[in-house]
Amino acid sequence: MTLTNLPAGPRSYDLVVVGAGPGGFDAATEAAALGIKVALVEKDLLGGTCLNVGCIPTKLYLGATSPVEDLAAQVKAKIATGNIEIDFEALCTKKDRFTGATRKAMAQKLKALNIDFYHAAAKIIEQGKVEVSHHNETAVLEYKNLVLATGSHPTVFPGLEPDNETVLDNTGFLALTEMTKSLLVIGAGFIGLEMAQIAHRTGTEITVVDALDRIAMYEDPEVSKTLHSVFKRNKWNIKLGVKVKSVTAENGKAVLRTEDGEEIIADKALIAVGRRPNSKDLGLENCGASTVGPGFVKINENLEAAPNVYAIGDLNGNVLLAHAASHQAGYVVRRITGKDKGPYTHAPVPSILYGSPETMRVGLMVKDLEGKGEIKVSSFPLVANPIAQSYASTQGFVKVVWLDDKVAGITAVGHHVSGFTTAAAMIVQEAWTEEDLHKVIFPHPSLDEALLGALKADKQLPK
């Protein structure tokens, strides 16, 4: 919908939301469902990074290619023989069709809720007013409340600029209609490791480099170790502690040069070295808001960047995950409709790495708790779980972190461990003690029993 298509009349709203990713879309629709007048402004696609070039396409690719790994595990266990070929172009088309259908459903929901949608960029011009612009057209929207949910973009370091032909970012990778023969992944975080697994499953030769001394550095060190061991067995070339000087396209190849003068060459490279907030050009200074660090919008305990101006999701840098943005959106809507006086309560934010194996983490890990009380850990190996045995994928474990005999955090690595993430989030949220263990009946047999096993296991001091 362009600006000229909008009905004439006052552009005055109870709530203006900028950004239609998971946080912004949820804020707009939940508020409108409560009967307040809402405008949603998005300069790009409905659904934001997550739907279009982030978590959703990645999981579509990982789910669709998972039989490759599942079969490989059974072949290795000598239970099955066979082969699987992925039609990568068909998968890409399916992804485009699904994200397109989802955007269409989102647009219908906006319409059904009488939300005015502006396909435009937004800039605060003074407290209470946002200018929206698309090509040469502009309009001014008046707001009582403003939610900024503009998300983030891939970090670009000098010398590592993607051309999205040979040197790719997430957008370039997900636009490929043919998988490359060899892929060099720079950055062993979530995005790099998930995309590397997709490529691996289509037969691509994988090299992963990272400046740090372990992969998945946000995870518990033992989780990183298990991941590393599985990926090495997959014949990935993993190079740690690498100081990357440049990654450039040369004669159709991606060439990485290190500070030490080493060269690594692959058909394509994927740059996945973190994300930066989209806070430039928002006119933050015009309402008294400010930023910290690489541009994260500074907020108070009510998620306010200025009075009645909220910054949620990746933009505030709190947790860069879609479901954290949605949870913050829910709070802001409750707050502006008078149902929650605040402050914002941080529920435990679960985090999942999909693939083979998967990782899940929720709550606090040992390193987060040092000095806060008596820390213990208890764990359970997946090899003792019959469902893990059935998948012939028994490497991995569940680990529970206890603070003063209450569950403070849970993490796991292994096949399908994402399955018990919500249960784990609830257990952390409720800070279970041993006494709570018999409140709930875990199904038998199930992978969830590995979580129960870890909760019941002897507690030990962390190593």
416 catalytic per annotation: no
What track of x and - describes contact with its own copies for positions 339 through 378 (by CB under 8 A)?
--------xxxxxx-------x------------------
187 versus 350: smaller Cβ distance to its own copies: 350
* C-beta of 326 vs 379, nearer to its own copies: 326
* Residues 195, 203: Cα–Cα separation, whole Å: 13
Region label for 200, one of left (φ > 0), alpha (ψ between -120 and 50) or beta (otherwise) = alpha
Q: Which of 232, 386, 404, 434 binds its own copies (CB under 8 A)?
A: 386
The answer to whether residue 438 forms part of the interface with its own copies (CB under 8 A) is: yes
Stretch that binds its own copies, among 106-114, 282-290, 308-316, 419-427 (CB under 8 A): 419-427
The yes or no reply on residue 445 touching its own copies (CB under 8 A) is: yes
Residue the block writes with tokens 């239609």:
20
Site string for its own copies, 72-91 (x = CB under 8 A): --x--xxxxxxxxxxx--xx
Distance CA 185, CA 169 (A): 10
The footprint of its own copies on residues 301-330 (CB under 8 A) is: 321-324, 326-327, 330
Element housing 225 (H / E): helix 221-233
Which helix (H) or strand (E) is 138 found in, with range? Answer: strand 137-148
Per CB under 8 A, 433 contacts its own copies: no
The residue whose two tokens read 């992969």 is 215
**CB 322, min distance to its own copies, A:** 5
Q: Which stretch binds its own copies (CB under 8 A): 64-72, 141-149, 154-162, 242-250?
A: 64-72
Separation between Cα atoms, residue 450 and residue 367, nearest integer Å: 23
Give CA–CA dist 410/401, Å, rounded: 6
How many Å apart are CA 198 and CA 458, to the nearest integer?
37
Q: Give min distance, CB of 362 to its own copies, in A.
A: 8
Cβ closer to its own copies: 136 or 345? 345
Contact map string, positions 89 to 108, toward its own copies, x by CB under 8 A: -xx--x---x---x--x---
Q: Give min distance, CB of 455 to its own copies, in A.
A: 11
Tokens of 248: 């450039």
**Footprint on residues 123-142 left by its own copies (CB under 8 A):** none
Give the span between the Cα atoms of 327 and 340, in whole angstroms: 13
- For its own copies, the binding residue among 313, 418, 450, 453 (CB under 8 A) is 418
How many CB atoms within 10 Å of residue 259? 11
For its own copies, the closer CB: 71 or 217: 71
Give the DSSP H or E segment for 106: helix 88-112
Number of residues that bind its own copies (CB under 8 A): 77
State the pairing for strand pair 205-209/182-186. parallel
Q: Please list the residues that pair with 116 across neighbouring strands.
A: 39
Among 70, 116, 194, 220, binds its own copies (CB under 8 A): 70
- 269 or 329: whose CB is closer to its own copies? 329
Using rule CB under 8 A, residue 387 touches its own copies: yes
Does 34 sit near its own copies (CB under 8 A)?
no
Beta carbon nearer to its own copies, 47 or 187: 47
Q: What's the Cα-to-Cα distance from 395 to each of 106, 238, 280, 380, rounded to whole Å? A: 40, 19, 44, 11
Assess 434 for contact with its own copies (CB under 8 A): no
178 is an interface residue for its own copies by CB under 8 A: no
113 binds its own copies (CB under 8 A): no
In sequence order, what are the residues at sequence separation of 6 or more whose Cβ sits closer than 8 angstroms to the Cβ of residue 117? 1, 20, 39, 40, 41, 42, 107, 110
DSSP code of residue 460:
B
State the Cα–Cα distance between residues 52 and 326, nearest whole angstrom. 17
The residue among 295 and 342 lying less far from its own copies, judged by its C-beta, is 342
> Which residues define the annotated binding site for NAD(+)?
187-194, 274
Would you state the structure tokens that stand for residue 312, as one six-digit string? 């949620």
> Which residues are known to be catalytic?
444
